[in-house]
Amino acid sequence: MKELRTEIEINAPAAKVWAILTDLGQYAAWNPFMPEAVGEVKEGERLRVRIAPPGGKAMTFTPTVTLVEPERAFRWLGRLLLPGIFDGEHIYEITPLSEGSIRFVQRENFRGILVPLFWKSLDTQTRQGFEAMNAALKQRAEGGRET
């Protein structure tokens, strides 16, 4: 297994960050890494997500939501073809730091026989995409815009 992990502190309450993060229909307005996301943030639901890593090829996939803990965590599991080929568990975590600020962690656990072949681009282009999304989430949450 390989893990890709990024984090950022956001000066906004957990409820506001959660509202932005789970309003998938608005991703095109602010999210440079995932400019399209469709579906319901509900365990067992299937999403349609398009990622556009910097310098990489855009890709659309249909992960299944595996965990929803309001204002705390949101996870999904995506697969390439069959289990064990290339699986990615995408995880968003919100940890309160004070009344008006949080730590946002975006990470992904990769498993499968193809992971070693793609690890270099995951650790560069995908990491850059995570960081760009984190910065955009911070800007949106701290900028006072309502979702």
Q: What is the CATH number of the domain that holds 52?
A: 3.30.530.20
- Evaluate whether residue 40 is within a structural domain: yes
Please tell me whether residue 77 adopts helix, strand or coil conformation: strand
Q: In whole angstroms, give the CA distance from residue 15 to residue 87.
A: 30
pLDDT at 1: 86
- For the residues 122-143, what does the mean pLDDT come to? 94
pLDDT at 24: 97
- For the residues 36-53, what does the mean pLDDT come to? 97
- For the residues 9-20, what does the mean pLDDT come to? 97
- Evaluate whether residue 12 is within a structural domain: yes
Using DSSP, how many helices (H) and how many strands (E) does the chain show? 4, 8
Instruction: State pLDDT tens for residues 87-103.
Output: 999 999 999 998 899 99
- Evaluate whether residue 49 is within a structural domain: yes
pLDDT at 123: 81
pLDDT-derived band at 115 (thresholds 50, 70, 90) equals confident
- Evaluate whether residue 131 is within a structural domain: yes
Q: In whole angstroms, give the CA distance from residue 37 to residue 39.
A: 7
- Evaluate whether residue 147 is within a structural domain: no
What is the Rg, in whole angstroms, of the alpha carbon atoms belonging to the chain? 15
| Domain housing 75 | 2-142
Q: In whole angstroms, give the CA distance from residue 56 to residue 50.
A: 12
68 within 8 A of 57, measured Cβ to Cβ = no
Computed from CA positions of residues 117, 120, 125, 126, in that sequence, does the dihedral angle turn out positive or negative?
A: positive
Mean pLDDT (the chain, rounded)? 93
45 is written with which tokens? 């639901």
Q: In whole angstroms, give the CA distance from residue 13 to residue 130.
A: 21
pLDDT at 119: 81
Give the residue with greater pLDDT, 144 vs 20. 20
For the chain, the domain total comes to: 1
